[in-house]
A and B are shown apart, each in its own frame.
Chain A
Amino acid sequence: MTQVKMTVNGKAASGEVEGRTLLVHFLRDDLELTGTHVGCDTSQCGACVVHVNGNAVKACTMFAVEADGAEVETIEGQAAEDGTLNTIQQAFQDHHGLQCGFCTPGMVMSAAALLKDNPKPSEAEVRHYLDGNICRCTGYHNIVKAIMAASGQDVSALAAE
């Protein structure tokens, strides 16, 4: 077992992990932050996307030991302390960017990473950036719309497809 220490959503976190413990399992099982989901466990679906040192990564394809000393941000850290949703989360709600909600944590974290690098993405750029996030409910249209809206762009012209 190895001792790991990291900062998760601004708070110090630590635990004992095996070499094979994935970051997503440390977050979910040890820290009980179950907002980060395991969809496919094969790095395809993106439901487990979190930020490690500011970069979006798939928490199912990184060992907890590798995040030792890192700053980790998960979906739980996105809303304000009083539960007020952040801009991206609110846009997902306003534009019906989810149905079952399983992929949503990863979608929101990917969207946050995109908007940090590219504050006014085009629709094509949003779709390209979401290559690694799979949603089986919405057909993506409202997710793309929500992200465009969260970036402050007018989405009234984005017709339903």
Chain B
Amino acid sequence: MYDFEIERPGSVADAVKALGQEEAQALSGGQTLIPTLKARLAMPSVLVSLAGIDEMKGVEMRDGALWIGGGTTHATVMREAADAYPGLASLAARIGDPAVRNRGTIGGSLANNDPSACYPAAVLASGATVQTDRREIAADDYFDGMFATALEEGEIVTGVRFPIPQAAHYEKFIQPASRFPLVAAFVARFEGGVRVAITGASNDGVFRWSEAEAALNDRFAAGALDGLTLDGGDMISDLHGSGAYRAHLCGVMTRRAVQAIG
């Protein structure tokens, strides 16, 4: 790693100020950023640790929605969201491994927006709202392609507000070495309609599969998806699987998620 200083502000306001420095970079759980720094793929002069900011931690019901602080670890979401939003808690319980879940945070995952990350699928399928130090961003406006988001320079994800669906399920086809999904589908059924988000598949990162949503709104059954296909030409193609294979998996994962909801 190149050398850098670490600052540890105790409030969002101080963190925003610290991030205003030249070549400053926010550090949350570090489970992606630290390996990135080791590979010398980033060269910040200052890391601003968000771990000591209590106002960014917690899982609680607020006005009928589930609020999760941006600095909340996957392990905490796994435990504390289990009653309010079991589909989301189940997703958190399957990220990485136990030691990674004790460090990695939802805010870090969303700010990074890895095209194969788990949380973006839940946020998009739930129609959640991403809260930052300066505004609120609807999930449909937040994700902006591979490793790209609507966040501005130095903007911090302070929390996420999840509307709670009637039922939801995250179906993950795991890539066992990385523990990321090769492809995963999050299906959320609300009174107003079904939302389907796919991660791990597209070159543009997480996306809503609108044809599947329309079919499931007509009839909520795995069979409603028969005949629906996605174009493998737009999908990630690598040594783990071709674009066509990933396109196929999108259908399989979505059908299994629908079956799990019942």
Q: What is A's interface to B at a CB cutoff of 8 Å?
A: 2, 18-20, 22, 41-44, 46, 49, 55-58, 61-63, 65-66, 68, 110, 113-114, 129, 131-133
Contact = CB atoms under 8 A, between A and B. Distances in A.
A92 B172 CA distance: 33
Contact of A62 (B3, B30, B97): B30
Contacts of A65: 6, 8, 49
A126 to B, nearest CB: 12
B97 A46 contact: yes
A49 B99 CA distance: 7
B98 A61 contact: no
From DSSP, what is the main secondary structure of chain A's interface residues? mixed
Given A65-B8, A113-B98, A129-B98, 6 more contacts: A20-B1, A49-B99, A55-B75, A61-B100, A63-B30, A131-B98
B30 to A, nearest CB: 6
Interface string B91-123: 000001111101100000000000000000000
Interface in B121-178: 177
Given A43-B35, A63-B30, A56 B99 contact: yes
Given A18-B3, A19-B3, A20-B4, A42 B35 contact: yes
Interface string B29-55: 011001101100000000101010000
A62 B104 CA distance: 11
A15 B67 CA distance: 38
A61 B103 contact: yes
B5 interface: yes
Closest 3 CB pairs of A and B: A132-B97, A131-B97, A55-B102
A68 B8 CA distance: 11
B190 interface: no
A148 to B, nearest CB: 17
A100 B103 CA distance: 29
Interface residues of B, number: 26
Contact of B6 (A19, A55, A110): A19
Contacts of A56: 98-99, 102
Contacts of A42: 35, 38
A58 B5 contact: no
Contact of A41 (B4, B38, B98): B38
Interface in B63-103: 75, 96-100, 102-103
Contact of A46 (B6, B99, B103): B99
B34 A61 contact: yes
Given A41-B38, A61-B30, A63-B30, A132 B98 contact: yes
B84 to A, nearest CB: 20
B38 A57 contact: no
A49 B177 CA distance: 18
A57 B8 CA distance: 19
A110 B38 contact: no
A19 B103 contact: no
A71 to B, nearest CB: 14
A65 B4 CA distance: 12
Contacts of B5: 2, 19
A20 B75 contact: no
A20 to B, nearest CB: 4
Interface in B177-202: 177, 179
B97 A57 contact: no
B3 A20 contact: yes
B99 A66 contact: no
Given A42-B38, A110-B99, A131-B97, A61 B31 contact: yes
A22 B4 CA distance: 12
